[in-house]
Amino acid sequence: MAEEIKGIKEVLALNLKKNRLKLGLTQEKLSEKANISTHYFAMIELAKKFPSAGMLERLASALEIDPNELFYMPSTAEKALIELKGTVASDIEQIVSDTVEKVLTAKYKDKE
């Protein structure tokens, strides 16, 4: 999460992509939902273009979020907690995986 966000276009671009991926949508599918061209949407998501207020509302609606969520920036403390959550979840996943592997290995050795 070492991305440097420089301005409002970058914040919008990041939130569009994050929310689009959360719904499992391609740029093309979201463009269809918002009734805009895929190229124009791609330019917004790359922070090359900035949409009108009406377009922001259509994008938010297509993403099933409130328009203000397009401009949400977590605080530094919140970013740290999000990173920690990811790290802890990854560590737990690895521990569970290792434990299951050990149990299965021991079970198969006992049957030999």
51 and 69 fall within a common domain: yes
For residue 96, how many other CB atoms are within 10 A of its CB? 10
CATH number at residue 50: 1.10.260.40
pLDDT reading at 2 higher than 50 = no
Place of tokens 């920690």: 84
| 80-97 residue pLDDT tens | 777 777 788 788 888 999
94 and 64 fall within a common domain: no
pTM recorded for the entire structure: 0.63
Q: Which carries the bigger pLDDT value, residue 73 or residue 81?
A: 73
Q: Which carries the bigger pLDDT value, residue 72 or residue 32?
A: 32
Boundaries of domain holding 30:
1-73
41 touches 30 (CB < 8 A)? yes
Q: pLDDT value at position 3?
A: 52
